[in-house]
Amino acid sequence: MSRRIRLSIGLAALAVMCFCMAISAEQEKAKTGQSGEIYKGWKIGLQAWTFHTRSFYEAVDNAAAMGLKYIEGFPDQSLSKEKPQAKTHYLMPAVMREEIKAKLAQTGVKLINYGVVTPKDDADWRKLFEFAKDMGIETIVSEPAEESFEMIDKLCQEYKINVAIHNHPKPSHYWNPDTVLKVCQGRSKYIGSCSDTGHWMRSGVNPIEALKKLEGRVISLHIKDLDKFGDPNAHDVVWGTGAGDFKGMLAELDRQKFQGVFSIEYEYNWDNSIPELKKCIERFNKAAGELSHAEWKDLLTKDLSNAFFKPGAWVFEADGVLAAKGGEGHDLDIWTKDRYGNFVLDLEFKVDKGTNSGVFIRTGSIKEWINTAIEVQIHENTDGTPHGQCGAIYDCLSPAKNALKKTGEWNRYVITCLDNKIYVELNGEQIIDMDLNLWKEAHKNPDGSPNKFTTAYKDMPREGHIGLQYHGTPIWYRNLKIKPLD
């Protein structure tokens, strides 16, 4: 073989490798759903203590029902109604860990933090780290003795798991942020603060000033707002309505470029707190979305002033769910006034028996939507056409698998448009990888099968309105967020 031929083959192989790397990078860019993040790197979750009068599984179900993707467990909560004697302790048997993993996978909730927990000795600390590693826990929340930190830091570095020091109110050892800062000095990046803003307020500590002192050491937060400042008996209120400067706290964390978890630990109105928790989540998302580094925004405002629709046909209900109400006549879909080209759209939807709906993307003309929009199908089953299943690009491409949950459960779409590529994830499974340029003829799919569209998909608009279809059947949406891509 000549040197020239060998060189040509080598260059060709390099070109193929670069092409594959480009595709891989493109696909990774496409898989950037918000995962509970309105502000990149900020994760909002539930501290299970909020439901300590109920079981861990009930706390997980409540987190999922509110659209949260993360939970922070604590020791010795009852596992479930069926198994009240089983406890969420880090020394639980392996079979119980596997059961919990299955429950978390089924609900789409990640056990991200665990605490407040402080083992009795070095051997127990290692057992705790082994538990955290097995469960995928990122941060252990604890209040260790100061003399334990050399040993703990070595375990943190070995396992690459954080230990965040929690601050209970006075007279607990770590109520003062200066004490937390002292034990962090000289330690690795894995040692820091689980900043409980409510307990700081009870102790007379200004949360914003405390966060400033701990800059670079804040790993996670038990985020709170209270009705009073400096009162040990103060109680939780909806974020932004109390004595704490809730927006100021987020602004300070934005300034610090904080990346981490905000755990909702709501210690009031124990048996009926969910309406207040939903308001906290809504206020958090709104405040975080207004910060300078926020990447995501609401697709639709709560008053729907940024949408085209027939009055009364759609409404945001009190719990933040967008519901189709129907009405008289045709054209009962809802459309964004804004137009989008390259973007990631992240939303949840719930179907009823017989539900038929869809998400329209890059709609060139609302009046001529049939031939200027690409529809990602939503269906309780199928409309009977070859490409009419839930997750299909309607009439053009079927999903790679059926990832739809049972009727009445919330499903999650992550839809990415990137130039000629469309990717769809349903409940964490990539089901569509579509290259529009392969659809070269009107009324024809690449495999030769017919479709109804008078425009070849390679010629479809690459920018336009986003719409949600009302097809005469019940449909509900929530957590509709969009991130434009450069």
The amino acid occupying position 402 is N
244-295 per-position pLDDT tens digit:
999 999 999 999 999 999 999 999 999 999 999 999 998 998 888 888 677 7
Q: Measuring CA to CA, which residue among 244, 251, 195 is closest to residue 220? A: 195
Give the pLDDT score at 7. 43
- What number of residues does the chain have? 486
Distance of alpha carbon 331 from alpha carbon 365, whole angstroms? 13
Give the pLDDT score at 297. 87
62-106 per-position pLDDT tens digit:
999 888 999 999 999 999 999 999 999 999 999 999 999 999 999
Average pLDDT over residues 333-356: 95
Distance of alpha carbon 174 from alpha carbon 165, whole angstroms? 8
Q: Which two tokens stand for residue 457?
A: 């998909």
| 3, pLDDT greater than 70 | no
For residue 173, what are the CA distances in angstroms to 124, 134, 146, 170, 185?
21, 30, 10, 8, 17
Where does 108-148 have alpha helices with state H? 122-135
Q: What CATH number should be reported for the domain whose range is 299-484?
A: 2.60.120.560
100-130 per-position pLDDT tens digit:
999 999 998 999 999 999 999 999 999 999 9
Distance of alpha carbon 303 from alpha carbon 319, whole angstroms? 14
Torsion 370-371-372-374 (CA) sign: positive
Torsion 80-81-83-88 (CA) sign: positive
Residues of the chain with pLDDT > 70: what percent?
Answer: 91
Q: Considering the chain, what is the average pLDDT of its residues?
A: 91
Higher-scoring residue by pLDDT: 38, 335: 335
463-477 per-position pLDDT tens digit:
999 999 999 999 999
What are the residue ranges spanned by the domains of the chain? 42-295, 299-484
Give the pLDDT score at 329. 66
Is CATH 3.30.1540.20 what the domain over 42-295 is classified as, yes or no? no
Distance of alpha carbon 83 from alpha carbon 255, whole angstroms? 45
Helix (H) or strand (E) holding 172: none
Distance of alpha carbon 416 from alpha carbon 271, whole angstroms? 40
Distance of alpha carbon 43 from alpha carbon 110, whole angstroms? 11
Contacts of 479 (CB under 8 A, 6+ apart): 67, 320, 346, 347, 348
334-336 vs 465-468, strand pairing mode = antiparallel
Q: Are 146 and 172 in contact (CB under 8 A)?
A: no
Average pLDDT over residues 203-230: 98
pTM recorded for the entire structure: 0.73
Q: Measuring CA to CA, which residue among 204, 208, 161, 162 is closest to residue 184? A: 162
Least confident piece of the model among 13-17, 124-128, 328-332: 13-17
Q: How confident is the model at residue 38 (pLDDT cuts 50, 70, 90)?
A: low
